[in-house]
Amino acid sequence: MTRLEIAVDSLNNSRYTIQQWSGILGVTRDTIHKWLAGVNSPKRSAVNHIAEVIGKTAIFHSNNDVEFIDSGKPAPAIDLGKKNHAQTLGQSSLVEELVAQVQYLRKRVEELESQSE
């Protein structure tokens, strides 16, 4: 299969959504939509990552000819709610700021709802 064909087949037959694949692979949803539409072909590294996520190994017979074989390892457990690496200081402060904004907005909604009663 070509890189595009095997990626599209794998994405379509997986348990993950486009949004989840986007986060897993570190690409935009638009990139994945372009793959699914046949507009762009995924890079070799993305194909290797897709294979790893579904418990396979990518074997490239040429630059564009690839097959997935069983890796003998179970597909890794992926926590879609957290990054697989430590947060940087910038990320931590951004998360704290977003949490504070959400709390403020919830309180404001409650205030407005109580005023309208």
The 10s digit of each residue's pLDDT in 76-98 is 777 665 444 444 555 667 777 77
* Domain spans of the chain, in order of start: 3-70, 86-117
Residue 116 has pLDDT above 50, yes or no: yes
**Six-digit token string for 60:** 């490239």
* Long-range pairs of 18-23 with CB within 8 A, sequence gap ≥ 24: 20/80, 23/80
Give the least confident one: 12-16, 26-30, 76-80, 109-113: 76-80
Round to whole Å and give the CA distance between 73 and 91. 32
Whole-number pLDDT of residue 10: 93
CA 83 vs CA 26, 42, 79: distances in Å: 11, 22, 8
Domain 3-70 architecture: Orthogonal Bundle (1.10)
Amino acid at 50: I
Mean pLDDT of 17-42: 92
Round to whole Å and give the CA distance between 30 and 45. 18
The percentage of residues in the chain with a pLDDT greater than 70, rounded to a whole number, is 87
